[in-house]
Amino acid sequence: MDKLIARSTVSQQFVDLNLFPIQSDDLKISELPLAGIIRVQGRTADVAFRSQVAACLGTDLPASERTSVGTDVRIAWTGPNEYLCFCALSAEEKYLSALTEALAGQFATVTLISDSRVAFLVTGSEAQAFISKGCSIDMHPASFPADRVVVTRFAGLPAMLMHRGGGDYVMYFDIGYVEFVVKWMLDAAEEFLEPAA
C-alpha cells in the first residue's frame, strides 16, 4: 500500500491563507494535520469485543461521551457500539491490521476513515465562547470537562467535538464541508479579533 503524505485540506482554493489559521491573543483556530482515524463498531456489551479492542489499542473502550487515552492512541465514543481510534498516520496500518485480525469472526467491523475527516483545533480564552456560537452544547467546564466528546451539529453541520484537556478543543467534520466550515469560522471569529472600542 502506498504511504499517504500528510496533507492540509484547507488551501487557497477555499480561503485566503493570510486569514487562516486564525491567530489572536484570545482565540486560535488551526487545521490539524492528517492523522489516522479508524472506526470500530461492535457490541459494547460483548466482553470479548471490549477485551480484544483494549488488547490491540492499550486502553479500555471509553464510557458514553468520553475518550480514553493509551500510549499513542485516543479512543472516542461516537455512539452506541461505535468508537473512533485516533493515532499517528504512521501507525494507522498497524492498528488497522491488529484490530481487523483480532475481531475476525466477531460481530464487528473495522474501517479506515482518515481521509474522510478534517479536524480543527480551537484554543484560547475565548475558545468556549466561539464554539458556543456554532452549537447548543453547554461549554462550561463542569458540563464539558476534559476527555468529553459529543456528536452534535456545529454551524448546522454534523460534527464531533472533543475536549482534549488544557482548553484544547478539536472539531471533526466530513471533508466535503471544509470550505463552508472555514468560511463560517472566519465570520464567527471576527468579534474575537477586533480590538475593543
Tens-place pLDDT, residues 89-115: 999 999 999 999 999 999 999 999 999
Residue 61 lies in a domain: yes
Q: What local confidence, expressed as pLDDT, does residue 11 receive? A: 65
CATH number for the domain including 62? 3.30.70.1520
How many domains is the chain built from? Answer: 2
Which of the listed residues 50, 78, 112 is the one where a domain comes to its end? 112
How far is residue 85's CA from residue 77's CA, in Å, rounded to a whole number? 9
Q: Structural domain of residue 103, as residue ranges? A: 36-112
Which of the listed residues 66, 82, 112 is the one where a domain comes to its end? 112
Are 164 and 146 in contact by the 8 Å Cβ rule? The answer is yes
H/E element, 174: strand 168-174
Residue 26 lies in a domain: yes
If asked whether residues 46 and 92 sit together in one domain, one would say yes
If asked whether residues 120 and 159 sit together in one domain, one would say yes
What percent of the chain is helix, strand and coil (3-state, nearest 5)? 30, 35, 40
How far is residue 189's CA from residue 40's CA, in Å, rounded to a whole number? 34
Residue 197 lies in a domain: no
Are 27 and 192 in contact by the 8 Å Cβ rule? The answer is yes
Q: Say which amino acid occupies 129.
A: A
Residue 102 lies in a domain: yes
How far is residue 70's CA from residue 87's CA, in Å, rounded to a whole number? 10
H/E element, 48: helix 47-57
Q: Is the pLDDT reported for residue 170 higher than 70? A: yes
Residue 142, φ and ψ in degrees, nearest 5: -70, -30
Q: What is the pTM of this model?
A: 0.91
If asked whether residues 138 and 108 sit together in one domain, one would say no
Q: What local confidence, expressed as pLDDT, does residue 19 receive? A: 86
Residue 8 lies in a domain: no
If asked whether residues 62 and 96 sit together in one domain, one would say yes
Sign of CA dihedral 18, 23, 29, 30: positive
CATH number for the domain including 163? 3.30.1360.120
Burial class (CB in 10 A: 0-12, 13-18, 19+), 42: buried
- The string of pLDDT tens digits covering residues 119-165 is 999 999 999 999 999 999 999 999 999 999 999 999 999 999 999 99
Which of the listed residues 53, 81, 112 is the one where a domain comes to its end? 112
